[in-house]
Amino acid sequence: MDKIDCYVVPQTTGTGRNIFQGGSPLASSLPLLGVQLVLIVAVTRVLYFLLKPLKQPRVVSEIMGGIILGPSVLSRHTGFREAVFPARGEAVLNTVATFGLMYVIFLIGVRMDPTLVVRSGRKGMVIGLSGFLLPLAMTGAGSSGEAMATEPDVSRRSTFLFALAASLSVTSFAVLSPILSELSLLNSDLGRIAMSASMTTDGIAWIIMVVYVLAEAFLVSPATSIWAFLSVAVLAASILFVVRPVALRVIERTPPGKPVEETYVFVFLLIVLLVGFCSDVIGTNSFHGALMLGLAIPDGPPLGTALGEKIEAMVSGLILPLYYAMTGLSTDVWRMHWGRLQLVVFLAWVGKLVGVMVSSLYLEIPLRDAVSLSLFMNSKGIVEVITFDFFLTNKLIGKNTFSILMCLSVAITAVSVPVAGWLYDPARRYAVYKRRTVQHLKADANLRILACVHDQSHVPGTLAVLEASNATPQTPLSLYLLQLVEIAGRSAPVFIPHKLRHNASRSSNAPPSTDSDRIINAFFQHELRHPEGAVAVHPFTTISPYSSMHDEVCRLAVEKRTSLILLHYHKRHMLAGGVRAAVGLRVVNRKVLEVAPCSVAVFVDRNAGSVGLCSFIPGPVQDHSTSSRNRSGHGAATGHGFGAAVAALFFGGGDDREALAYAMRMARHPGVTVGVMRFLPARGIKDDPSDRRNDNRAIEEVKALASRSRNIRVQEELVGDMERIVHVLRGLDEARYELVLVGMRHRWYPVMPANGLSEWSECPELGVIGDLLASSDFDTPYSVLIMKQQDQGGLNAAVPGAQDVWHVNDGGAEDAPAPPRTMSTAGSSRFRQ
């Protein structure tokens, strides 16, 4: 017989005798619940902090925290168990945990995107099916006949074995998504395939759930089975045809960029309780109803985001660890025994490993990535915990079997996830063994730029840099515009390739409806202001977490074979003074700089779109058809009235040569003048002779261009310390420069580290000079473009003796007309003569 606990129902609040009167606050329900919550959260957080360096997911630390607090460790002591986790408190703890879990499941449904299975193609579906069918067959064979007869606390053996085989074969999206998010792999190719495959198995699990409900009802009577099916159908139809249209109507009534009204959010939170009640009434479990409701709510802003903000902090941060702890309190490792059940779980693990790996290799996924994917698909989490708790609650199993299943699930996840994370490196696919730099482009080659913008404030500066890049039909420019949007209200990242709208942009007078449309329209207008074939704009949007957004940037750069990635500095100089920092953008910038497959430029817009370089404001769209298309690119460019004074700082090294090459392309624009300033150390140095030869050759070729063009001027500065360098940099303001180009890394230069500048750098990833020019303390009006040339370790290893090749266009600079000495938009002189 089951154990029966008898106790007096305690008071809700501590209105009785306090500690000074000889009483105990823990005798009341509310103080006891508070102590339990604090203890559970504290233990799980400490474990997560200790296990995080080992790449252990959060679910492992939360379940282990419950096991430590349970009868396996601390609750083995009678005094601790009676004081902190007495039997009279289990009802309250279970009610709070189950109530919060229903909202967690609802939020998981809101953030799921079922269309991901379709967008991912057949890879996700094939891998999901093979990763489900093979472990299902192996577990079925391992538990057939009298194989599980040795398990003493398993009742209704056939029902349990089928449910166990199905649960061990499924990899749920709700389990995999948070694990991939913690490892910053949501945007990776492997992460997308894994989430698509998990959604495929989730669909199979739903079918199994419906069949189980109908089978249970059929045991009562055939008529009951029919009523159960109709009840499930009516509930699903009510959610789909009543609740979803209401949600869509709420979204329509919410102005773009504005939050959803609190009243609507409150109503949907009440609907969750109503759907959960109806689900329990018809026998499908409140969790299934909450998930169906969540899937019907459109993900993302504004409604999905608003619901996530209301639920996330309290429920996911506090109540979910409580539910995990409750399962741990029912787990006793000392009562475990070795039997056939461990073999069945092992067969499921091997079956999923083999099933996913074989199908992945068939789909031409590399072996190392296939192994990593199969290990990720073996992860266990919230869905398995709910399933095993359902087995225990419905008396399909006893606490011995429950303890075995929980411990094995934790062990499998604790081993599989770190090994999978170690095997898979998304940066490997960004290794490019070809030169993708501005310096190594031929003079008339198409310059492919991937420009990343976060909001509308980045548009003027980006357009100004693009205009200065001298896009003509003879020297075309292909722009791949990527809008960076932080994910909110959804779990799976979204990548959106926008359709080209050249004709619509030319003829339509309707204003863009959203910020994204306005950004895209601005760049389409920029394309239309140039002759045909000069500029081609291809817009994209990525909605993903900042921690993995760099994967999308680098993947697009590889696919489009870009030579330059243009990023914006994460600090924005405001018109009213001061600086606003976006920490998420800095995370993206640093990771892109680390693994980029081509050269990278970080743009520091000090002009805030009002003066200097960014004062270039496009005029009306000009139709470059017929005769205008036959004009040269220079003639079309001068019609814009664009002009800028650009300075290129040259200390030496590959990054400075990249900046110099980009400056020389800008010098071919009739409205741009370039001043090259070479810094020479006053004392002897030890440097790489080949690097020095490349520097000298680059400077000599620029001097040859300067002798034939009034656009270019070269000067040399002898500097002995950092103070002299800073003095020269401040003088650029007096020379009325609007844009300064400089390389990012100057490791060999002896003057820079002399005064320990690296120690107080705000952004050391920009290099000593780049960080100095970007610093808010360095108050200068000119904008800065800090460039990092593509790392070529892989190329030099594959092609011994690989060295720089300098491409120049003699005719372009020589034939360009001499620009005026005054700014066409700012009215200032270009150089101090």
- pLDDT of 315-337, one tens digit each? 777 888 888 888 888 888 887 77
Between residues 586 and 612, the one the model is more confident about:
586
Q: What is the pLDDT of residues 11-39, one digit of tens each?
A: 555 555 556 655 667 777 788 888 888 88
Peptide bond into 71 cis (omega under 30): no
d(CA 646, CA 668): 12
Min mean pLDDT across 548-552, 567-571, 803-807 is at 803-807
Taking CB atoms within 8 Å and a gap of at least 24, the contacts of 823-830 are 823/643, 823/644, 823/645, 823/736, 824/641, 824/642, 824/643, 824/671, 825/615, 825/616, 825/641, 825/642, 825/643, 826/611, 826/612, 826/615, 826/643, 826/738, 828/645, 828/736, 829/736, 830/645, 830/673, 830/736
Which H/E stretch holds residue 29?
helix 29-51
How far, in Å, CA of 280 to CA of 282, rounded?
6
Alpha-carbon distance of 197 to 794, in angstroms, equals 33
pLDDT at 427 over 90: no
- Between 589 and 792, name the one with better pLDDT: 589
Q: What are the Cα distances from residue 264, in Å, to 237, 304, 745?
A: 21, 12, 53
Report d(CA 484, CA 502) in Å as an integer.
22
Residue 470 has pLDDT above 60, yes or no: yes
Sheet-wide strand order for 644-650? 494-497, 535-544, 477-486, 447-453, 564-568, 599-604, 783-788, 739-743, 644-650, 672-681, 712-719
Range with lowest mean pLDDT among 288-297, 584-593, 638-647, 802-811: 802-811
Could you give the CA distance from residue 693 to residue 687 in angstroms, rounded to a whole number?
Answer: 11
Cβ atoms of 287 and 102 closer than 8 Å: yes
Segment 363-401, tens digit of pLDDT = 888 888 899 999 999 988 888 888 888 888 877 788 888
Q: Is the pLDDT of residue 565 over 70?
A: yes
Average pLDDT in the 613-636 region? 40
Is a pLDDT exceeding 70 seen at residue 597? yes
Q: Of 92-106, 116-130, 154-168, give the lowest mean pLDDT range.
A: 154-168
Query: Among 345-349, 430-434, 604-608, which stretch is predicted with the lowest mean pLDDT?
Result: 430-434
**Contacts of 697 by beta carbon, 8 Å cutoff, 6+ apart:** 806
How far apart, in whole angstroms, are the C-alpha atoms of residue 16 and residue 27?
9
The pLDDT tens digits of the residues spanning 230-251 come to 888 888 899 989 999 999 888 8
Phi, psi of 575 (to 5 degrees): -65, -35
Encode pLDDT of 135-183 as tens digits: 888 887 777 656 555 555 565 566 677 778 888 888 888 888 888 888 8
- Which residues have C-beta within 8 Å of that of residue 88, sequence separation ≥ 6? 5, 7, 8, 9, 10
Cα separation, 402 vs 388, whole angstroms: 7
Is 381 or 812 the better-scoring residue by pLDDT? 381
Structure tokens at 199: 């959604």
Q: What is the pLDDT of residue 89?
A: 79
Other CB atoms within 10 Å distance of the CB of residue 757 = 17
**Please, which pLDDT band fits residue 566 given cuts at 50, 70 and 90?**
very high
In this model, does residue 632 exceed pLDDT 90? no
Kindly report, residue by residue over 183-218, the tens digit of the pLDDT.
888 778 888 888 888 888 888 887 887 777 777 767
| Least confident span in 48-62, 159-173, 737-751 | 737-751
Comparison of pLDDT for 440 and 832, the residue scoring more: 440
Per-residue pLDDT tens digits for 445-461: 889 999 999 888 889 88
Which residues are bridge partners to 484 per DSSP?
A: 542
| More confident call, 102 vs 685 | 102
Rounded Cα–Cα distance for residues 292 and 307 (Å) = 15
Task: Provide, for the chain, the percentages of residues in helix, strand and coil under a 3-state DSSP scheme, each rounded to the nearest 5.
Answer: 60, 10, 30
711 contacts 674 by C-beta, under 8 angstroms:
yes
Reduce the DSSP state of residue 833 to 3 states and report it: coil
CA separation for the pair 574, 579 (Å, rounded): 6
Q: What local confidence, expressed as pLDDT, does residue 831 receive? A: 36
Is pLDDT at 43 greater than 70 in this prediction? Answer: yes
Give pLDDT, residue 600: 93
452 bridge partner residues: 482
The predicted model scores a pTM of 0.73
Specify the 3-state DSSP secondary structure of 127.
Answer: helix
Nearest residue to 52 (alpha-carbon basis) of 42, 60, 63 = 60
pLDDT(741) > 90:
yes
pLDDT digits (tens, 9 = 90+) for 646-704: 999 998 888 889 999 999 999 888 888 899 988 887 766 666 677 778 888 888 888 88
More confident: 648 or 811: 648
CA–CA gap between residue 621 and residue 505 (Å, rounded): 10
CA-derived radius of gyration, the chain: 32
Those residues whose C-beta lies under 8 Å from the C-beta of residue 626, and which sit 6 or more positions away, are none
d(CA 139, CA 148): 11
pLDDT above 80 for 314: no
Mean pLDDT, all residues of the chain: 78
Q: Which pLDDT tens digit goes with each residue over 491-529?
A: 678 888 887 654 444 444 555 567 788 888 889 888 888
Rounded Cα–Cα distance for residues 381 and 198 (Å): 13
Q: What is the pLDDT of residue 786?
A: 92
Residue 451: its pLDDT value, please?
Answer: 93
Give the tokens for residue 460: 């003027």
Name the DSSP class of 313. Answer: I
Q: Which residue has the higher pLDDT, 566 or 750?
A: 566
Percent of the chain with pLDDT over 90: 10
User: Amino acid letter at 75?
Assistant: S
